[in-house]
Amino acid sequence: MAALMFLKGVMKKMKVLNEMSMSFESRSANESFARTAVAAFASQLDPTVGELNEIRTAVSEAVTNCVVHAYRDTIGSISVNAKITEGNTLTIKIRDKGCGIEDVSRAMEPLYTTAPEEERAGLGFAVMQSFTDKLSVRSKPGRGTTVTLVKRLSPRLSDV
């Protein structure tokens, strides 16, 4: 929670240079759409191939969580917002209005999964964590979940 407050504070101070929002249905076919769209938005920061792949992967994990867990046997809406702020920083919010997470810290434990039949290894949050610079999860059971990913991209030659 403290980390979240800190994050909010930092984000307020930073000037937003560009922003995009989109929403789509929680169908698994949209997983590739979502990560590709965010990667296309991020490409204006001139990221390295590795950074772009990390962004794509983290978004894919977050969106898949919405499809598999938040809206388990239903179809709901997933919204994604991405902001570029000063200092080559990309902040991505993935929001659903699904079932929510009872115990966020438990859900974030590597290998913990509530959907073993999906064979997803229970690595979603662990991957988001290691592929970005900051991960925060806000959730209310019955109301939904917001995952915020912050990625600082390496400074490019043109900025130096």
Partner 1 sequence: MLLKPKTKFDGKVLTVYLSGDIDHHSARKIREYTDALIGEMKPVMLLLDFSAVTFMDSSGVGLIMGRYRIMKLYGGSVRAVSIPPALRKMMELSGLGCLDVLERGYEKNESA
What positions carry a catalytic annotation? 61, 65, 120
- For residue 37, the one-letter residue type is A
**What mask of x and - would describe binding to partner 1 in positions 6 to 45, judged by CB under 8 A?**
----------------------xx-xx--x----------
E strand segments, 4-154: 16-25, 77-85, 89-96, 134-140, 144-152
Residues in Cβ contact with 78 at an 8 Å cutoff, skipping those fewer than 6 apart = 23, 24, 25, 26, 30, 34, 63, 66, 67, 70, 94, 95, 96
Of the ranges 51-59, 72-80, 83-91, 150-158, which one interacts with partner 1 (CB under 8 A)? 51-59
Q: Which among 143, 144, 126, 122 has a CA at the least distance from the CA of 135?
A: 126
Of the ranges 1-9, 10-18, 100-108, 127-135, which one interacts with partner 1 (CB under 8 A)? 127-135
Out of 124, 135, 148, 151, the residue judged to bind partner 1 by CB under 8 A: 124
Could you list the residues that contact partner 1 (CB under 8 A)? Answer: 28-29, 31-32, 35, 49-50, 53-54, 56-57, 60-61, 64, 67-68, 118-121, 123-124, 126-127, 130-131
